[in-house]
Structure 1
Amino acid sequence: MSVPQLQLNDTTPITPDDHHNNCLDKTSTRKSLHQNIFGKLRPLPFQYHWTVWYDKYTPESDDPSTKNKLYILHEDVADIATFYRVYNNYPWDKVRVRDSVHIFRKGVEPVPGDPENRNGGCWQFRVPKGKALAFFHEAVILCMANEFQAALEEEHDHVLGISSSVRFNSHLISVWNKLGGNERSIKTLEQTILERLSPDLRPSGSHADGYSYRRHGEE
């Protein structure tokens, strides 16, 4: 089965306002959050450059190291206009069950074995399908705008990327950090994610059912 391809036929920069005009959910809280973030992003390129990956699940493989195959969809997302050209043109509805899309710092592969990830982990959220794309979108924007990173500066930790993995009735959305052994950093990242997300996207129900922290070495 082929990987859903990214088609960037229109090179005209796509602005955040273009995206919002096409959104079905236009709650005032979410628009306020986005406008605040976009105001920070418009003048300058991102502090870090980002790569968009497609992660294809291949259950027929007998070799555990090749269970997933990684493909680069866009190698260098350097600013908000480039991000929206990717985000608005990608066929999100074509991502198959157990396949994943990752947006990671350029130079870091979205696998636990990458040197930057080896001692890290991730906050993993199980998000209902109806909210998954909005959750992923907000998490990525907050990540690229350094909202998560700024919260971890005192701990010398780094947020390395965001993943969305499709399941039957939900998506597993993960926020990866570098220091999986730093409990203060892990807790701070959790609090920052929950505080920065729009209220309607925050996990409901018990902590154990909605989300948890997973160290890569424990998987």
Structure 2
Amino acid sequence: MELEENLKSLNINEEENKNPHAKDEEEEGLEEGEIAGEEDDTTSLKKDVVEQPHPLEHSWTFWYDNTQAKSKQTTWGSSMHPIYTFSTIEQFWSLYNNIHHPSKLAVGADFHCFKHKIEPKWEDPVCANGGKWTVTFQKGKSDTSWLYTLLALIGEQFEYGDEICGAVVSVRGKQERIALWTKDAANESAQISIGKQWKELLDYNETIGFIFHEDAKKLDRGAKIRYTV
């Protein structure tokens, strides 16, 4: 828009140089009460609305776990790296519209969106005593739910928003999983509230379970589900 306006301005100046009386003729054609060069209030308001950024309550960081760098010998999380931190809704949409959605990610990929300065790892001090809710989808079917989850996070839609660390979408051979990480796994009422709200936001009808990170570290896939909604 700014480029277009600059081009128009250049064209007007060029025309005036060709015909020095053009401006005078234009002003003579004005209606009574009009002022030459006066900008319409609505146009000015539109410019303000477009140019004014909309800050988020928290800054968020996208992380990507590089599938090509993964191997059985590497330490878990060592191939994970931050991509970009955003703090306004405009930055979010600019990023979201230019990155692959889950259905386009390679099998084995993990794509995270966490509050800034919280690493999506069990070892992070904020996450250490937490856990996660998980929803599963058929391969290629999680795109919409991933977007809704992101919007709920950055839009502070959860009653216990301070409990939220972030979310991760994991692409596997036959399915895709979205997990919502929280801080205090022992706070049952907060976790149940988050789980119920998340299901409602996604319109997800199946039962979902909550696993403590501490259990997952010790028992891996044998970790039992502590809460369900």
- Letter paired with 1:158: E
1:215 corresponds in structure 2 to 212
Q: Please, which runs of 5 or more residues in structure 1 have no aligned partner?
A: 1-41
Counterpart in the other structure of 1:50: 60
Deviation string 1:168-194 (CA, Å, 9 cap, x unpaired) is 222110111101111111110111112
Distance 1:56 1:175, change over 3 A: same
What does the per-residue CA deviation read over 1:32-79, in whole Å, with 9 as the maximum and x for residues that have no partner? Answer: xxxxxxxxxx9731100000000124553424x2465112221x2111
In structure 1, what residue type is equivalent to 2:71?
Answer: E
Partner SS for 1:184: helix
What is the rounded CA distance, in whole Å, between the counterparts of 1:96 and 1:68 in structure 2? 18
Separation in structure 2 between the aligned mates of residue 203 and residue 68 of structure 1, nearest angstrom: 35
1:22 paired residue number:
none
C-alpha RMSD of matched pairs (Å):
2.2
Larger radius of gyration: 2
Alignment match of 1:152 (pick from 138, 155, 160): 160
Task: Give the one of 79, 85, 91 matched to 2:88.
Answer: 79
Alignment partners' CA distance in 2, 1:89 and 1:167: 22
Give the total of aligned pairs.
164
In 1, Cα distance between the equivalents of 2:76 and 2:121?
A: 12
Separation in 1 of the partners of 2:144 and 2:205? 13
- Contact 2:153–2:166, Cα closer than 8 Å, also in 1: yes
CA distance in 1, matches of 2:54, 2:89: 9
Match of 1:167 in 2: 172
Counterpart in the other structure of 2:73: 62
- Deviating beyond 3 angstroms after TM superposition, the runs of 4 or more aligned structure 1 residues are none
Q: Percent of counterpart pairs with the same letter?
A: 25
* TM-score when normalising by structure 2: 0.66
Distance 1:182 1:79, change over 3 A: same
Question: Counterparts of 2:140 and 2:100 in 1: how far apart (Å)?
Answer: 16
Is the contact between residue 159 and residue 178 of structure 1 (CA under 8 Å) also seen in structure 2?
yes
